[in-house]
Structure 1
């Protein structure tokens, strides 16, 4: 589907402002963008392909396949001729076009382009940023389906641009919030006033994280859908390398979707209204085991409940998510030399209960235990087993129930996570807001 872009006298200034807002020029392209460009070349039958961004005076080839890219004068660019029209340009033989025949990329001064097709990159605000371009030195024809897929891939690229921009905005806000908190700590003499301000700022950050994560769901789902559709339609035509590229792009999108889902769960754990009812932890444990049944079976794990668990005052949905996250983590970080074994037990203490989740997994080194509940903290980032959000979510749930969460080592090997839950909720942290 084509997007109509209407030019106004001041439209070019607006377009350039939108382009620079993405901060893509002169920055290396990430793996997802390079993968999409390679897929575009495969769609066009093995042609050269380039992701072109066009600024005031130049065409920047952000990533290419089939040739060595670089910057060139905008006045020499084939893509500059019509990209702001918002439609796909398709030339089986550029020499036969009176508009393109005299371009230096066509007449031999810079190249001998014959086949040329470009799909415009249109931002959500309607600004043309550049093109996804495929070309070759021989005459070539594409089917209507091939042209439609190239236009789809151009939309995928814009979705990836948006994801990067939103991630930068989120990081900028996080840095600003951190500075604001530091200033509050310095300037406020009364602890109560400082805590109230910190809670307000955190609520705003939670709302922002939820909104940004929600806004990322649609472009990521679209990108995943386009890749899945491409695999279904063209999968049998791909060679081994092309199939590997498509699979890699799919894995990257799936990981990003998992991260967005984790961020949404983190935001909901701290922001959604909390019920305050009597909850039987035995029922919660049974529901948890049912939720994780597929994972438990596939991992060959055993998950047991030692004795009878008590009833506590709290939110059944959040407590179910809490136990599910902890057992899921225990199985995910299992020791390679033994099948996972996870037990849930409980002992009384004055004013409440201590619920312990014990595993025989890899364990957490003592030097990392103070930070494992921090957002995005990971003991071994290279393992790429998670996003560093699960335990942060657990801590948020426990704090909303007026409790504490602690981590310790299992003397027999593994980890013990202790949840100190009060018999009745204490203070503002356990409020039912």
Structure 2
């Protein structure tokens, strides 16, 4: 079945908006993977996906329960409902005239029965796709879970917009700080609502007989609480224009374990093995150090998992006379010697221009380390890939 060209003004607007986000053909974003995992858990199904739909194809840019792929738009269930964007809940797709003959329902591609989706809408009002959950058994959503699916779809749009704007910011740190202030503020309200939905779901009577789902919800609720704390702290940090970070005792191993919880979906999908040896108490800003570790571990997973490899990562920390040395080692492709200074600059990604990411993670790490009076660098790892090291000084 061949794709068709743009035929409507709505299609043209959608194609342009999708191009602005530069998603197609890129590896799944860690933040989007977290949102589909959350949608799957809240809605009580094993499969969830973010579909981006242009004039010809449906692109699955993040998924849980199956491997993301691309299909013809005419075969897409979500393309049918995207013409009139809104929440859609279908207990049995075989009994819905819109889907009864769809190949995802008939068995030609899959055997979908329960289907629910909420549109992903840009700030300009363009519906570019959906956050979709489905199952091979019939089902339904409660009013609370329907509202949660809508909220998560809104969060998908926020993540995409954040990614787009960050890419376009250029090299102005002042602009970046103003942007952080606005984004942190804008994320606070929906994140509070999301925590409320998780709490409602966790307290529902159905969870008594579903211990696995209850544990998943508890982990999701814990992750939402940590995210809320980070957003609040970053908002305060941005409000004072990046003032001197706090210097308090920080259990580094506890920070690393919390980061691994937040990255659980990405680590599981990549088949990553992470070894942690970081039983030290450092002095610094706990929020910024958590962001530092999350960027370093996330980078190691992202680059080491290219080509379908199951990466190995080691996080270690040691105390020495003047402070602490933290290293994140991986068995990926490594970083060429000529790129090891440049990758810490804003919007730089080294010599591999096709590498995933925005080129902002390591520059953020550099700023965090410098704000603590420390140093950061890259060496060859004993695992065969890159070893990113951070030295944090003791004292003020």
- Shared fold per TM-score greater than 0.5: yes
Does the CA contact (< 8 Å) of 1:39 and 1:246 recur in 2? no
Aligned to 2:194: 227
Report whether the alignment pairs 1:112 with 2:87.
Answer: no
Aligned to 1:42: 41
* Cα distance in structure 1, aligned partners of 2:177 and 2:72: 42
Per-residue displacement from partner, 1:241-264 (whole Å, max 9, x unpaired)?
Answer: 443244345535644654554444
Per-residue displacement from partner, 1:73-107 (whole Å, max 9, x unpaired)?
Answer: 11100000121322111111111112211111112
Aligned to 2:147: 148
Aligned to 2:27: 28
Does the CA contact (< 8 Å) of 1:119 and 1:150 recur in 2? yes
Q: Tell me how far 1:43 sits from its aligned partner.
A: 2.3
Aligned to 2:178: 211
Does the CA contact (< 8 Å) of 1:223 and 1:253 recur in 2? no
* Cα distance in structure 2, aligned partners of 1:268 and 1:102: 57
Q: 1:79 to 1:390 in 2, by over 3 A?
A: closer
* Cα distance in structure 2, aligned partners of 1:257 and 1:338: 24
Q: 1:339 to 1:66 in 2, by over 3 A?
A: closer
Does the CA contact (< 8 Å) of 2:251 and 2:280 recur in 1? no
Aligned to 1:55: 54
SS in 2 for 1:234: helix
Does the CA contact (< 8 Å) of 1:35 and 1:249 recur in 2? no
Does the CA contact (< 8 Å) of 1:35 and 1:245 recur in 2? no
Q: Tell me how far 1:221 sits from its aligned partner.
A: 1.3
The runs of 5 or more residues in structure 1 that have no matched partner are: 1-7, 175-204, 270-321, 341-359, 366-370, 377-383, 396-408, 418-433
Does the CA contact (< 8 Å) of 2:120 and 2:129 recur in 1? yes
Report whether the alignment pairs 1:251 with 2:199.
Answer: no
* Cα distance in structure 2, aligned partners of 1:118 and 1:326: 43
Report whether the alignment pairs 1:239 with 2:214.
Answer: yes
Per-residue displacement from partner, 1:37-65 (whole Å, max 9, x unpaired)?
Answer: 12212222224211111123111111222
Aligned to 1:101: 100
* Cα distance in structure 2, aligned partners of 1:67 and 1:134: 12
* Cα distance in structure 1, aligned partners of 2:120 and 2:9: 19
Report whether the alignment pairs 1:363 with 2:330.
Answer: no
SS in 2 for 1:11: helix
Output the TM-score relative to the length of structure 1.
0.54
SS in 1 for 2:104: coil
* Cα distance in structure 1, aligned partners of 2:12 and 2:83: 13
* Cα distance in structure 1, aligned partners of 2:282 and 2:127: 54
Aligned to 2:73: 74
Report whether the alignment pairs 1:64 with 2:39.
Answer: no
The runs of 5 or more residues in structure 2 that have no matched partner are: 1-6, 208-212, 253-277, 284-319, 326-340, 347-361, 374-390
* Cα distance in structure 2, aligned partners of 1:54 and 1:126: 15
Does the CA contact (< 8 Å) of 1:59 and 1:77 recur in 2? yes
Q: 1:362 to 1:76 in 2, by over 3 A?
A: farther
Pick the structure with greater CA Rg: 1
